[in-house]
Structure 1
Amino acid sequence: MLSIGRIDYANVTPLFHALQEHFPCDGYRFTGGVPANLNALLAAEKIDVCPSSSIEYAIHSERYLILPDLSISSAGPVASVLLFSRVPIEELEGQEILLSAESATSVNLLRILMGKRFGHTCRYTVSSMPLAEALRTASAMLLIGDAALRSSLAETGLRIYDLGSLWYEWTGLPFVFALWFCTRSAAQSRHGEVRLLADRLVQAKAYADREREHIAAISPEASWMGREGLIAYWRENISYEMGEAQQEGLRLFYRYAAELGLIPVAPELHFFE
């Protein structure tokens, strides 16, 4: 049985719904979690395939193969990777920024933006405190996923910076937050199963694009985002594409991460065939 990791965020709801709606999934075992936890499970080979943090691939590229034509990315605002700040971002030099414990890629994207785009040297601390409590002492806090979406809907009086927007405005390229990849051991021992899943996921991507309204009507996230808000988020902010522009953006992210010492080297992109 192929073990598949599932990120417990609204950004992947359409794809997993389409997969389970249109294809038999009794041969799959799904494991839910936040990106940081799923990265650890994938690294330990406790799951075979996962939409996992793009930085995880960079750290252990020798362990994985990327499934083609799939990502979780944005070309502009992503809406669910947000820096909440008490002061303008230009004034964060030397300040403490708190980081979501759920994040991996977004943490490194923030470090790149602060260091290379704004020229800031900041102090970074991982925290699980609620936003309001956290910002009583720190100047800013990074939230991702549903926590970021929920906090952006509340009236906080804080400045909110979308990391997808900051990257796109600076580079002109999409940012790839997550890749679908499999362990090389699964690619070898279960090649046919992985190939079938990869084909189904590409088809599910097309179904998800056509069925947003139906999926939103039955998704639990609509209870707090609103049906129209959820549809707009999937349509305007989240992309599942992995074309040349996404690959170029990913390579640039890896190059900057290597230059700042966040990863050992910028890896080559090796795809499952």
Structure 2
Amino acid sequence: MTLNIGHIKYANCTPIFSALLDSPACSKYSFVGGVPSVLNALLRSGEIDVCPSSSIEYGKSPGKYLLLPELSISSVGPVKSVLLFSRLPMEQLDGARIGLTTDSDTSVNLLKIILRKQFGFLNDMERTGLPLAEALRDFSALLLIGDAALRESMKFHGLHVYDLGELWWRFTGLPFVFALWLVTEKTALGKPNEVAALWRELVQAKERAYGTYARIASRCAERSWMSEEDLADYWRIISYELTPEHLKGVDTFFGYASELGIIAERPQIRLFSPNLSE
């Protein structure tokens, strides 16, 4: 029975997906590409079964999903690819109008929490698909994520650039989990053995990727715009784990999101148990 897997084609997902696609086991799966916000919607509707999905998606609909253990896309400090580009220094952003990427849900809400809870700011925020230079004619700052953020960070703009992973770390001392590997509860209940097999393959792919960043960088599509050395360095700062500290970070994020009315309540974290499928 085929599992439909959401494939975020951002550089931060390249190591695990490269290692997974190198495995003969991947022929059992169907991969659906897209940006996080699109794949969140597909997972929500049941059109895909499993995805490294925006953390806030679980917070909004915890009854729909289970978390795959030991897997995430996280930062423990700077993340390099979730960046606020600003014409003004942070201390002058209170009340400013801020543009938000259309590609993300978690990072958008992380920015809202940081500005409100860490700095005490109130801001007018609006989604925009405008490129950076155009957006900053209308907004004081623009939040970009993923490859767009990486690409812009490599240019000289004369702008203030704030890394949201670093801001969260300074605020809480905890990892920030940008994406959780979510499986729909329907799939977990209906195909437990298949989900358990995929989970084992993902964990193995993660472990293989850790030792082969240089090789992955030498043949990935991103090398057309980012050096192999910079790609490997970028992947080394990302945490692909889901430890108790990571889960504490998730719970803290959900707590603040609940306080700001972003989600209805602080959800209970529910993990898929591979052993129960055997």
Structure-1-length-normalised TM-score? 0.99
> 1:239: which partner in 2?
239
User: Aligned pair 1:11/2:25, yes or no?
Assistant: no
Partner SS, residue 136 of structure 1: helix
**Structure 1 residue 115: deviation in Å?**
0.1
Q: Gaps spanning 5+ residues in structure 2: where?
A: 274-278
How many angstroms apart in 1 are the aligned matches of 2:24 and 2:127? 39
How many angstroms apart in 1 are the aligned matches of 2:90 and 2:111? 11
Letter in 2 for 1:252: T
Q: C-alpha offsets along residues 101-129 of structure 1, whole Å, 9 cap, x if unaligned?
A: 00100000000000000100000000000
> 1:261: which partner in 2?
261
Partner SS, residue 25 of structure 1: helix
> 1:202: which partner in 2?
203
Q: RMSD in angstroms over aligned alpha carbons?
A: 0.6
Letter in 2 for 1:265: E
| Contact 1:95-1:139 within 8 A present in 2 as well | yes
Letter in 2 for 1:218: R
Letter in 2 for 1:233: Y
User: Aligned pair 1:78/2:79, yes or no?
Assistant: yes
User: Aligned pair 1:102/2:103, yes or no?
Assistant: yes
How many angstroms apart in 2 are the aligned matches of 1:206 and 1:195? 17
The percentage of aligned residue pairs carrying the same residue is 53
How many angstroms apart in 2 are the aligned matches of 1:267 and 1:202? 25
Moved more, 221-230 or 34-43: 221-230
Letter in 1 for 2:100: L
Letter in 1 for 2:21: Q
> Structure 2 matches for 1:108-257, cutoff 5 A?
108-236=109-237, 238-257=238-257
Letter in 2 for 1:151: E
How many angstroms apart in 2 are the aligned matches of 1:268 and 1:167? 22
Structure-2-length-normalised TM-score? 0.97
**Structure 1 residue 23: deviation in Å?**
3.8
Q: C-alpha offsets along residues 36-80 of structure 1, whole Å, 9 cap, x if unaligned?
A: 000000000000000000000000000000000000000000000
Q: Gaps spanning 5+ residues in structure 1: where?
A: none
> 2:23: which partner in 1?
22
**Structure 1 residue 90: deviation in Å?**
1.0
> Structure 2 matches for 1:23-42, cutoff 5 A?
23-42=24-43
> 2:69: which partner in 1?
68
How many angstroms apart in 2 are the aligned matches of 1:23 and 1:168? 38
| Contact 1:23-1:200 within 8 A present in 2 as well | no
How many angstroms apart in 1 are the aligned matches of 2:22 and 2:64? 31
Letter in 2 for 1:268: Q
Partner SS, residue 221 of structure 2: coil
How many angstroms apart in 2 are the aligned matches of 1:164 and 1:248? 15
Moved more, 19-28 or 197-206: 19-28
How many angstroms apart in 2 are the aligned matches of 1:66 and 1:192? 15
How many angstroms apart in 2 are the aligned matches of 1:113 and 1:258? 14
**Structure 1 residue 217: deviation in Å?**
0.3
Letter in 2 for 1:100: T
**How many pairs align?**
272
> 1:55: which partner in 2?
56
Letter in 2 for 1:246: H
How many angstroms apart in 1 are the aligned matches of 2:100 and 2:21? 33
Partner SS, residue 261 of structure 1: coil
> 2:276: which partner in 1?
none
How many angstroms apart in 2 are the aligned matches of 1:68 and 1:21? 22
How many angstroms apart in 1 are the aligned matches of 2:239 and 2:107? 16
| Contact 1:68-1:271 within 8 A present in 2 as well | yes
